[in-house]
A = this chain, B = another copy of it.
């Protein structure tokens, strides 16, 4: 083949390729536009507007706030931000259920705290559990097995256990408006991560199924894992020793460790998320920091400053955090005003 013919062939091919690609792109855009009425469960207002403006800014190639898709990172706290955290964190519910399940093998627990209080259903004692009580409970329920066994235990529990108030599976208690935010961000080139104080391997057992977030995008707290051989087969055993606490100042540390980039958007609901939002805001360019305020006692719960309640042990949206939010321009989401619908089942 002469070079002339080769070139002509190439340009004809290139032309068909280009035309087809442009046609595809146009059609895809039309479809995307037709399908996307973003955030349908959100009422119009400053919170919804903040999300939409932010996404518009970072995806507008001609604007000065454009962000390379590679740097579009969004991080989400889980408990109280993506799903219900009352009356206790779901993972705490799991631990308590598991103590009951394991009790027959541990007759000594009937006399030993904190197990006694759990087995006796002593709510007053339970409400006063200290950090070290919880450490004992986590060690007894979350360690001493392989990572594989632990995941199976969590999967089985979460497929069956039900929340005491709504009588629904915990995985049904995720906030529809937040799912929409994650989907909207992903549709606009964002990588969405969970950054939780909860157990990384606990959340991984269901994150893909319920949030569309794959295992490698779950950053959380962890125990030490030990590589061992069982009958010649390698396993990772979960040791009763804390490896990493992904909470408060641990969240920026975890983000740096697992993602290696400062997020462009971060969503939380408590003092445990404060440093994550600060760290997000510390980078240059467009940034979005949001906090979910639980102010809807009827459809969900009201606690923290919204309810004029004293800080509970969980979900501490303190007055100090509210002040920091105002000072820094973080957007507070009112569940009551901003969310048309909270749960999928809640029509």
Q: Are B24 and A259 in contact (CB under 8 A)?
A: no
For residue A259, which residues in chain B have a CB less than 8 angstroms away from its CB?
Answer: 215-216
Contact of A258 among B27, B147, B216, B278 (CB under 8 A): B216
Give the residues from 223 to 253 in chain A that come closer than 8 angstroms, CB to CB, to chain B: 225-227, 233-234, 236, 249-250, 252-253
Q: Are B256 and A204 in contact (CB under 8 A)?
A: no
For residue A275, which residues in chain B have a CB less than 8 angstroms away from its CB?
Answer: 227, 234
**How many subunits of this chain does the assembly comprise?**
2
Please tell me if A279 contacts chain B, counting CB pairs below 8 Å: yes
Give the residues from 250 to 273 in chain A that come closer than 8 angstroms, CB to CB, to chain B: 250, 252-253, 256-261
For residue A216, which residues in chain B have a CB less than 8 angstroms away from its CB?
Answer: 258-261
Q: Are B227 and A260 in contact (CB under 8 A)?
A: no
Chain B's nearest CB lies how many Å from the CB of A89? 21
For residue A23, which residues in chain B have a CB less than 8 angstroms away from its CB?
Answer: 16, 20
**Closest chain B residue to A18, Cβ basis:** B27
Please tell me if A7 contacts chain B, counting CB pairs below 8 Å: no
Please tell me if A13 contacts chain B, counting CB pairs below 8 Å: yes
Show 26 A/B contacts (Cβ-Cβ < 8 Å), sorted by A.
A13-B27, A13-B30, A16-B23, A16-B27, A17-B24, A17-B27, A17-B31, A20-B20, A20-B27, A21-B24, A24-B24, A200-B257, A216-B258, A216-B261, A222-B257, A225-B253, A225-B256, A226-B253, A227-B249, A227-B252, A227-B253, A233-B282, A234-B278, A234-B279, A234-B282, A236-B252
Listed from nearest, the 7 A-B pairs whose CB atoms lie closest are A215-B260, A227-B249, A20-B23, A17-B27, A20-B24, A234-B282, A225-B253
